Amino acid sequence: MVEWGDGWTIYIWLVSGASILIAVVFGLRWASQNEQFDEDIKYLVFDDNDRDKMSPEEFKKYQEATAKQENRRTELLNEQYEDSK
């Protein structure tokens, strides 16, 4: 049996750490390309029945965020439909 001796575990830690950093970079790149850093996404959990729980400014932001997301969803569905033809 091969004796590895002391000091080899640092290389495993270095490879593991580098792999994690590379995965984080790819994850952040994917998130930025797929519109995952939208601050207004928090308004999508509300609906029109929550009007009394929000200030008029927040309700307006909710309506704008919802309209923007619905328009973007329609665009993506249309793109998928055109690609499937």
What is the reported pLDDT for 85?
79
Query: For residue range 5-41, what is the model confidence (pLDDT) as tens digits?
Result: 778 888 999 999 999 999 999 999 999 998 888 777 7
Write down the domain spans for the chain.
34-85
For residue 56, how far is the Cα from the chain centroid?
28
In contact, 19 and 11? CB cutoff 8 Å: no
* Rounded (10°) CA dihedral 52, 55, 56, 58: -110
Alpha carbon distance 58, 15 (integer Å):
47
Query: For residue range 38-54, what is the model confidence (pLDDT) as tens digits?
Result: 777 788 788 888 889 88
* Furthest C-alpha separation in the chain: 74
Alpha carbon distance 52, 78 (integer Å):
35
